[in-house]
Amino acid sequence: MLSMLLMMRRLASALRVALREEDFARILGAALLLVVIGTLTFTLQSGWSVVDGFYVAVATLTTSSVLDPKLTITDPWLKVFTAAYVLICIGILVEVARRLRMGFIAAREELKAAEVAAKSDEASQGATGRTR
């Protein structure tokens, strides 16, 4: 549990750093919009629940192949949509992941810089305290 909380904290830091980039918010918004479009399309065209549509959309985009065998796509139009959906969305999700990775790296560097600055401040305060 602690490990998960620490990872969520690191993810939040990486998101904060990534959102400072000018285009990241638009790319993240596009990725979320595409998940919503996929969810709605799978839900409405296949007669599934919203949860099932969301599950299929996310499983399809992450290419996890962990799909419930009961949720099969039989409509030819939906098969074409799914193929186009994957081709379009994979590139956007890869870009989101790339920028998040850069955010993780930058957040770690900012944390290290803050630690070095804190140690430097402690050392300088200790030195001025001894000279008095």
Give yes or no for a contact between 102 and 55, defined as CB atoms under 8 angstroms apart: no
pLDDT value of position 128? 66
Across 18-56, b (16+ Cβ under 10 Å) vs e yields: beeeeebeebbebbeebbeebbebbbeebebeeebbbbb
Q: How confident is the model at residue 131 (pLDDT cuts 50, 70, 90)?
A: low
Give yes or no for a contact between 8 and 76, defined as CB atoms under 8 angstroms apart: no
pLDDT value of position 69? 79
State pLDDT tens for residues 23-80.
889 999 999 999 999 999 999 998 899 999 999 999 888 877 677 778 888 899 999 9
Supply the Cα-derived Rg of the chain in whole angstroms: 22
Q: What tokens appear for 132 in the block?
A: 């008095």
pLDDT value of position 37? 95
Q: Taking the model in full, what pTM does it have?
A: 0.73
pLDDT value of position 64? 73
Contact residues for 59 (Cβ-Cβ < 8 A; gap 6+): 65, 66, 67
State pLDDT tens for residues 12-33.
888 888 888 888 899 999 999 9
Q: At 52, which amino acid appears?
A: D
pLDDT value of position 72? 84
Q: How confident is the model at residue 129 (pLDDT cuts 50, 70, 90)?
A: low
C-alpha torsion angle, residues 29, 35, 39, 45 (rounded to 10): 100
